A and B are shown apart, each in its own frame.
Chain A
Amino acid sequence: MNATLKIFLSMSFSGALLILVLLFGKRFLKDKISRQWQYYIWIIVILRLLIPFEPSINFMGKYYQAIVNSFSEQQISSRQPENISDSAVYFDQSEKKTDDRLEHSLPLDSPIQKITLFLIKKIQVIWLIIAAALLIRKITIYQSFMRYINAGLTPVSDMKILDQFFITAKKVGIKKPIELCVNPLVSSPLLVGFFHPCIVLPSTNVSQKDFSYIILHELIHYKRKDLLYKWLTQVTICLHWFNPAVHFMSREITRACEFSCDEAVVEKIGYVNAKDYGETLLDAMAAVGKYKESFGAVALNKNKRLLKERLGAIVNFKKKSRAIRALTGVLTLCIIFGASFVGVYAADITDSSSGKLPKTKISSSQYVDVDFSGILINGEGPVGVSLVRTSESKVRFEYQNMDHPENCSVNTNVIDDIMQITIKNTAPNGLSVSFGKEPKNIICIYIPNAVYKTFDIVLDQIILHTQDFNAPVYVTSNQAGFSLIDQEISRGVYNIDIISGPLYIEADTILKDITATVKNGPIDLYFNKEPKNLYLDTTDCGPGYVNRPEDWSAIYCVGNKTPRLILSNYGPINIEVKRSDDKNCDFDLNDEDWDDDWDDEDWDDDWDDEDWDDDWDDEDWDDDWDDEDWDDDWDDEDWDDDWDDEDWDDDWDDEDWDDDWDDDEEDYTVYGIICNGKSYYYQGKLVNVFLDHKPDSSFYKLGVNPKGTISIKINRNRDGEITGVSYMTEKEVKELLDDKFW
């Protein structure tokens, strides 16, 4: 859901809370406190409903922030120091729960979810259209009413009446000349016109006293800018049309408007004359209901019931005692305080405070249910976002080399157990994003490796780079690319919707379903190992360059026909499979130390064995992971230590590792080079010798994989910028290797 709409909804909600409190309070205090107070207090509510001020910027800010922080809401300051490591911001999950039942990722029933998702995406538009339609309708009604009023309008030309009118105006403190007109079509006196105010009377043929009361009432409406107030209320209703409380509020304001105006009149004419004024009101009620004047104008009377109440109130008006006035002062402060305190995120506080969970230690080898069960990312770029699995128990944010960190804001929030991350970056002149060794303009989000119920990502102009997460993942991306790269895509089920931009998926093995639609853009799918089980549907792809392995048809089935990969796009598609016997991870497995460990437990066979793959695909295997006894098994073999061993963790979590991995991939991807671990692929072939060095020798990179079939080098210009890729001749390779190794 859009961030604006969410803020708006929370505004509406906190506004509704205030309205309910005020309506409730009114029942008890109606006659005790000033009517004018009862009228103006709604301004605070209207401001609350219209202005999305966050409590952090008002005087309550600090306290609010402190409270909110304890409920695990965090706003990440956009002012970041230059140093990357210093700029890392931790999102601490102060309350953790470890669920003993290790959950599977939930299966997703796509049609319903898709429709819901679609509606949610469009809901902002629907809301705005309805709001605009309502406002236009109100304006047209007002215009037709004004035409009706103007039709039979005669200005009062009697100088005596005009004089009396302006003398009264002066008494009220109005210096500006106001038009005074007569229109026999109106049933009761009213005030119209924003810029050229005009008081319209049904007739001037009334007693001197009545006339003065009537104009006094209307002049006070004018003095207090009631028309403006009314229109502000109408705009609020239009925007918050879905909120019934706002409609109640509008009704209450209209009532309070008349009551308070009566009170002001009685204050002016003296409490002893209250009864006379009431009689005037009754006389003025002679004819009502010729036209719906109540809207857009401040009419003297609304309806008989209201009139009855008003008469009752008028007779009871008393000067408020000092105690009452002090009380109203305190009450006002309370409400202002309340309005700012039930801030934009009022809903969150109640939500996250309800579930208190014990703190538990999390060991790296198990999935952990963190205390949010899903993640929702909303982003607006241009900027790059990288989602990285981490064994840490915290969600961590890192700005990597942002050009203008001050333009970037990242907000997190937990609502309904869903961690909501809102990213917004502005770069009016565009910016370059790089995921390489020198990451540029990247917001890196480290997310704990856990089981999530949902993972919704909605991005606009954000290049997203993600690893595999255990969740049903929905990605909607507009005007930017998306890459899903991992050794195994075995955790999440993916639903990808790209409006325009490239899609890149690369993995050794894919074990979970992926559905991807790219409205306009290329798809690249790389299997770093020959898939054993697969159902791949690419019938809806193209037009343009379509590249699949030779023996693959548009629908390719193998093994047990899972996972299902359904890809469709408008643009070129490239599917490649690495068909070499080597396993890409064997640089680790070949390690002697490692081998020993594995040998001890007769594991080596399993790893090298071709059946190994089957094991991974095997459903039983999944059960093993979920099995509670699983931990015990490992403990029995003293394996736990190895797994928990810090060194081991370092290998995987080590930033260098990540960097290597990220760096090559993105820098070189542009030129068609894919890097996985320490292996490079160019045009789908494993690279034997890979050479990249800057002419000034500030940077040198050599990669050798004996199993590779081709040798390439990166060409760079004097400034060190990549200009292209070329094959190396055998001679060059020989020279290079001789130079280096012998």
Chain B
Amino acid sequence: MQQISDSELEIMKIIWENPQEVTLFPYIMEELAARGKPCQKNTLIVLLSRLMNKEFLKAKRIGRRNEYTALVSETEYQTTQTKNFLDKVYEGNVKELVSNLISGDLLTDEEYKELKKLLEKGKEE
């Protein structure tokens, strides 16, 4: 999986969060504007085409409009990104990451409990 830029991630998020199966161009434009990041049509076209080149998206041309579908799910992306992060920062050591999360007060109590549950459930299985 290739790396994508922040603006590209922004677009991917819009597509991931879209409840519809396919996303249309005007929808992305509107969403971007709604998020306070309005952009030029061509800017979006260029960004979308970069995403297609990186195989994050595919487009199906129907008449004069493109229907965009994500090829990479949000979870897949997150997993890959986390792995990359782990490798880069913790050299693959998960324990260090988690201890850093706890000691660095990055987890709320609720999150901590949920995580614990998740861990125990994973053990049982």
Chain A interface residues toward B at CB < 8 A = 155, 157-159, 162-163, 165-167, 169-170, 175-180
Tell me the bound Cα distance from A179 to B53 in angstroms: 13
Contacting pair B43 A163 (CB below 8 A): yes
- Residue interface bits B1-44, CB-to-A below 8 A is 1, else 0: 00001111000000000000000000000000000010111110
Contact A159 B46 (CB under 8 A): no
**A residues less than 8 Å from B41 (CB atoms):** 166
Please give, as numbers and ranges, the residues of chain A lying within 8 Å of B8 by CB-CB distance: 157
B45: interface (CB < 8 Å) = yes
A166 touches B43 (CB 8 A): yes
| Interchain CB contact (< 8 A) of A177 among B6, B7, B37, B46 | B46
Q: Which of B42, B46, B49, B50 has the most CB of A within 10 A?
A: B42
**B37 lies within 8 A of A169 (CB):** no
B42 partner, pick from A155, A157, A166, beta carbons under 8 A: A166
The reply to whether A169 and B6 form a contact with Cβ atoms under 8 Å apart is no
Enumerate chain A residues within 8 angstroms of B37, measured Cβ to Cβ. Answer: 159
Partner of A157 from the list B6, B40, B45, B49 (CB cut-off 8 Å) is: B6
Given contacts A155-B5, A163-B43, 12 further A-B contacts (CB under 8 A): A157-B7, A159-B7, A159-B39, A159-B43, A162-B43, A166-B40, A166-B41, A167-B40, A170-B42, A175-B42, A177-B42, A180-B46
Give the CA-CA distance A179 to B42 in the complex, in Å. 10
Instruction: Determine which residue in A159, A163, A177 has the highest number of CB atoms from chain B within 10 A of its CB, and name it.
Output: A159
Q: How far is the CA of A501 from the CA of B54 in the complex (A)?
A: 64
Contacts of A175 in B (CB 8 A): 42
Distance in angstroms between the alpha carbons of A167 and B39 in the assembled complex: 10
| Minimal beta-carbon separation of B56 from chain A (angstroms) | 14
CB within 8 Å of A: which B40-97 residues: 40-43, 45-47, 49-50
The residue of chain A having its C-beta at the shortest distance from the C-beta of B38 within the complex is: A163
14 sampled A-B residue pairs with Cβ under 8 A: A155-B46, A159-B37, A162-B40, A162-B42, A162-B43, A162-B46, A163-B40, A165-B43, A167-B40, A177-B42, A177-B45, A177-B46, A177-B49, A178-B42
- CB nearest to A161 among chain B residues: B43
A158 vs B43: C-alpha distance when bound (angstroms): 10
Residues of the A chain whose Cβ atoms lie less than 8 Å from the Cβ of B42: 162, 166, 169-170, 175-178
CB proximity of A206 to chain B, nearest CB, Å: 19
A166 to B5, CA, bound (A): 19
A159 cross-chain contacts in B, Cβ below 8 A:
7, 37, 39, 43, 47
B residues less than 8 Å from A157 (CB atoms): 5-8, 47
Q: Which of B37, B39, B43, B45 has the most CB of A within 10 A?
A: B43
Once bound together, how far apart are the Cα atoms of A178 and B40, in whole Å? 13
Give the complex CA separation of A163 and B44 in angstroms. 9
Question: Bound state CA distance, A177 and B49, in angstroms?
Answer: 10
Closest to B8 in A: A157
Interface of chain B: mostly helix, strand, loop or mixed? helix
Tell me the nearest residue of chain B to A160, going by C-beta: B39
The distance from the CB of B32 to the nearest CB of chain A, in whole angstroms, is 9
Closest to A157 in B: B5
CB distance from B67 to the nearest CB of A (A): 19
Closest 7 CB pairs of A and B: A157-B5, A166-B42, A162-B43, A177-B42, A166-B40, A177-B45, A163-B40
B-side contacts of A169, CB under 8 Å:
42
Nearest to A163 among chain B residues (CB) is: B40
A162 and B45 contacting across the interface, CB-CB below 8 Å: no
Cα(A175)–Cα(B7), bound, Å: 22
- Nearest CB of B to A161, in Å: 9
Name the A residues within 8 Å of B49 (CB-CB): 177
Q: How far is the CA of A170 from the CA of B46 in the complex (A)?
A: 15
A199 to B64, CA, bound (A): 27
CB within 8 Å for A158 and B39 given contacts A177-B45, A177-B46, A177-B49: no
Given contacts A177-B45, A177-B49, contact A163 B39 (CB under 8 A): yes
Bound Cα distance from A155 to B41, whole angstroms: 17
Question: Roughly how many angstroms separate A155 CA and B4 CA in the complex, as a whole number?
Answer: 10
- Chain B residues contacting A176 (CB-CB under 8 Å) are 42
Cβ of B43: which chain A residues have Cβ within 8 Å of it?
159, 162-163, 165-166
A155 vs B6: C-alpha distance when bound (angstroms): 12
In the complex, which residues of chain B have a beta carbon less than 8 angstroms from the beta carbon of A163? 39-40, 43
A158 near B7 with CB under 8 A, answer yes
Q: How many angstroms between the C-alpha atoms of A158 and B6 in the bound complex?
A: 8
Q: Which residues of A contact B47 (CB under 8 A)?
A: 157, 159, 162
Task: Report the Cα distance A177→B50, complex, angstroms.
Answer: 12
Residues on A with beta carbons closer than 8 Å to the beta carbon of B46: 155, 162, 177-180
Rounded to whole Å, the gap between the CB of B8 and the closest CB of chain A is 7
Tell me which residues across on chain B come within 8 A of A155, comparing CB atoms: 5, 46, 50
Give, as a whole number of angstroms, the nearest-CB distance from B33 to chain A. Answer: 12
CA distance A165 to B46 in the complex (A): 12
Among residues of A, the one whose C-beta sits closest to the C-beta of B48 is: A177
In the assembled complex, how far is the CB of residue A180 from the closest CB belonging to chain B, in whole angstroms? 7
B40: chain A residues at CB < 8 Å are: 162-163, 166-167, 170
CA distance A159 to B45 in the complex (A): 12
CB-CB under 8 A from B39, the residues of chain A are 159, 162-163
- A167 — nearest CB in chain B belongs to which residue? B40
CA distance A167 to B8 in the complex (A): 20
Query: Min CB distance, B7 to chain A, in Å?
Result: 5
Which residues does chain B contribute within 8 Å of A179, judged by CB atoms? 46
Which A residues touch B5, using CB under 8 A? 155, 157
A158 vs B8: C-alpha distance in the bound complex, in angstroms?
10
User: A178 CA to B45 CA in the complex, in Å?
Assistant: 9
Complex Cα distance A509/B7, Å?
Answer: 96
CB distance from B41 to the nearest CB of A (A): 8
Give the distance to chain A from B6, nearest Cβ to Cβ, in Å. Answer: 6
A179, closest chain B residue (CB): B46
Nearest residue, chain B, Cβ from A164: B40
CA A93 to CA B45, docked complex, whole Å: 70
Q: From B46, which residue of chain A is reached at the shortest CB distance?
A: A177
Distance, CA A163 to CA B42, complexed state (A): 8
Cα A177 to Cα B6 in complex, Å, equals 20
| A663 CB, nearest partner CB in chain B, Å | 72
**In the docked arrangement, what's the CA distance between A175 and B42, Å?**
8
Chain B's nearest CB lies how many Å from the CB of A199? 11
Taking the closest CB of chain B, its distance from the CB of A339, in whole angstroms, is 39
Q: Cβ of A158: which chain B residues have Cβ within 8 Å of it? A: 7
Give the distance to chain A from B50, nearest Cβ to Cβ, in Å. Answer: 6
CA distance A177 to B40 in the complex (A): 10
Alpha-carbon distance between A169 and B49 when the two chains are bound, in angstroms: 18
- Chain A residues lying within 8 Å of B45, measured Cβ to Cβ, are 177
CA A169 to CA B43, docked complex, whole Å: 11
Contacts of A165 in B (CB 8 A): 43
Min CB–CB distance A162 → chain B (angstroms): 4
Q: Quick one: closest A residue to B41, CB to CB?
A: A166
CA distance A169 to B40 in the complex (A): 11
Interface centre among A165, A176, A177 (most CB of B within 10 A): A177
A178 to nearest B CB, angstroms?
8
Complex-state Cα separation, A201 to B27, whole angstroms: 32
A180 neighbours in B (Cβ, 8 Å): 46
CA distance A176 to B40 in the complex (A): 12
Interface centre among A163, A167, A169, A175 (most CB of B within 10 A): A163
